[in-house]
Structure formats: structure tokens, C-alpha cells
Amino acid sequence: DAGITQSPRHKVTETGTPVTLRCHQTENHRYMYWYRQDPGHGLRLIHYSYGVKDTDKGEVSDGYSVSRSKTEDFLLTLESATSSQTSVYFCAISAGTSGLDGEQYFGPGTRLTVT
């Protein structure tokens, strides 16, 4: 998985609780992304980062926040989890030379269930 780990790999949480997912890379890549994947919707971008402390919204960012304090770590926080946020979450990375539209490599994913 191109030197990308995600934690936890599985999580069950209750509605209304905050949840933080972690993505860690050992490739020293500039760009990092959080996607969610749902049946019928495919992969949708939640947030992305183009450097330490530099982040921006994707197409489905409501209810999510991110932080990147180190090159290697990108955190996704569900501020108050809802059942609609039950999904599989993938982190991805890409090298700085390729920009936002270059080759992306994905982590193993986190399966989140909100009850």
C-alpha cells in the first residue's frame, strides 16, 4: 500500500460522538487526501492537504474536519458522527511533482459504522 497506513482499520461508534481517523505515510509525499466510498457513489473527496497546515475542502466536506501538523500524518475528524457517515474511508497520497491531478496511491481503508 505504498507506505501508507490507516488507523483504526475498523470502528463502531455511536451517533453524536467525535471520531478521529489517522493516515500515516512514509513516502514524504506532499499531497494527502481523504475519500469516502459508498455503494452507488464511488469515491468522493472529503478533504485534501497540499502541505503541512495547508488543507482544503473536497466535494463532501460537511461534518468533517482535517489537520496536518506533520508531513507524514493527516487526521480526519468527524465532529459529531451521524449514521450517514457510515462508510469506508480511504486515505491517498501523491507526490508533489504531480499536483492534485497526478497519480494517487491508496491506504488500506477504515471501515466506520455509526450506530
Partner 1 sequence: QKEVEQNSGPLSVPEGAIASLNCTYSDRGSQSFFWYRQYSGKSPELIMSIYSNGDKEDGRFTAQLNKASQYVSLLIRDSQPSDSATYLCAVNIRGRGSTLGRLYFGRGTQLTVWP
Q: Residues binding partner 1: what is the number (CB under 8 A)?
A: 20
Pick from 13, 38, 19, 18: nearest CA to 90: 38
108 binds partner 1 (CB under 8 A): yes
Asked if 23 contacts 76 with a C-beta cutoff of 8 angstroms, the reply is yes
Site string for partner 1, 67-96 (x = CB under 8 A): -----------------------x------
Our CB check for partner 1 shows the closer of 23 and 81 to be 23
Report the SS3 class of residue 43. Answer: strand
Q: What residues from 2 to 61 belong to the interface with partner 1 (CB under 8 A)?
A: 40-43, 45, 48, 58
Report the SS3 class of residue 98. Answer: helix
- Minimum CB separation of residue 99 from partner 1 in Å reads 8
Q: Copy the grid coordinates of residue 6.
A: 490507516
Residue with cell 455503494: 39
Residues that bind partner 1 (CB under 8 A): 1, 40-43, 45, 48, 58, 90, 99-109
